[in-house]
Structure 1
Amino acid sequence: MKSVNSNFKVGSKVIFEGEPYLIESSEFIKPGKGQAFVRVKFRRLLTGQLLDKTFKATDSSLELADVIEINLIYLYNDGYFWYFMNEKNFEQFLVEKKILMNQLKWLIEQNSYLTTLWNNKIISIIPNNFIKLKVIETEQFKKGDIFGSGEKIAVLENKIKIKVPLFISIGDFIKVDTRSSLYISRIKK
């Protein structure tokens, strides 16, 4: 069993209460009176939830979590599972919909995604900050209709609706920020 000593190193991935957590901050406190302690801020890797916990400085160590991050290619889904592949060794992984949550809208077949594995099972998918998508539907404006903000709604190939500038047309490729779902720029063909 590998373990982290009682200094609770920031960035370590550990098992706490049977689940993987990331130590985001750790503060050793030695009060004037009483026993020293460590205040730790954890991020639960399965949900992203934050947890604050205080440990005695003499507490035993935590077990290191078998957590790795690798790039996997998204292949397809069958409605029940989403399939990914490691392009180095062609090993395939499947993921249930509930694990993907808000990332589903950014999954594009044959794109690579940073993936977190725990005990060789996918626990999270992180899309690239920016993604290239095709506009499949948008409002048409005639000359003289321009007013207000100069934006219109466009439907992208992943069925997401976002605001785009008036000059964007059906068939254009655009760069979208996956963190904010905002239009960044048009991509020239």
Structure 2
Amino acid sequence: MKINGNEIRPGNVIQHNGELWVAVKLQHVKPGKGGAFAQVELKNLLNGSKLNERFRSADKVERVRLEQRDYQFLYEADNALTFMDTETYDQIELQTDFVGERAAFLQDGMMVVVEIHEGKPIGVRLPDQVTLEVSETEPVVKGQTAASSNKPAILENGIRVMVPPFVEAGDKIVVETNEVAYLKRAD
């Protein structure tokens, strides 16, 4: 579907220069001289590279709709992740590199959304939050103020996050998967 350059919104997937890009940030600019334009930060869906592009209202871009299907994570073997379609029970294998560093958050049976374009998987969306156990963390140093000092902790999946001083090894915490950041202690 063709749309005008000034109709692009964050989260839209567009076809630009023969590749698929998602709009990450957008700023409408009205210079004192010349026509207005949209300054758009784009991220390549396949290789993750970024691009800043200007689109005027007269520019036409192809907006792409992705098919989103629910998959269940089954297991990891030989650097490949196996997912099962919850409707058809078909299984697909994706390379660990395809999901990236966030693959460490995958847990057996976890539901994810696989984005598909023309029958080919191009992205995996994990849940925004996961609950994990803290494997190890440094002891609290007396005299530090609780408000400003966080300490490093290593989670059961090997990911390192900064946590408040009251979190100890063995505690379960909720982690934000997109920012890889501590949110709260799990109930």
Flag whether TM exceeds 0.5 (same fold): yes
Deviations 1:39-89 (A, max 9, x none): 5626232216233044682x6x54443523333222212123212222133
Deviations 1:109-167 (A, max 9, x none): 211223322223222223333210123x32586xxx75144665543221123344345
Find the counterpart in structure 2 of residue 13 from structure 1.
13
Name the CA shift for 1:120/1:96 in 2 (closer, same or farther; >3 Å). Answer: same
Unmatched segments (≥5 aa) in structure 1: none
Alignment of 1:63-102 (within 5 A): 63-102=62-101
State whether structure 2 residue 101 is matched by structure 1 residue 106. Answer: no
1:52 aligned partner, one-letter code: E
Larger Rg computed on CA atoms: 1
Q: Percent identity?
A: 19
Alignment of 1:105-144 (within 5 A): 105-135=104-134, 137-138=135-136
TM-score, normalised on structure 1?
0.69
| Kept in 2: contact 1:39–1:55 (CA 8 A) | yes
Unmatched segments (≥5 aa) in structure 2: none
Q: Partners of 1:9 and 1:107 in 2: how far apart?
A: 35
| Kept in 1: contact 2:38–2:54 (CA 8 A) | yes
| Kept in 2: contact 1:10–1:26 (CA 8 A) | no
1:179 aligned partner, one-letter code: N
Q: Partners of 2:100 and 2:15 in 1: how far apart?
A: 23
Find the counterpart in structure 1 of residue 142 from structure 2.
147
SS in structure 2 of the partner of residue 158 of structure 1:
coil
Residues matched between the structures, number: 177
SS in structure 2 of the partner of residue 99 of structure 1:
helix
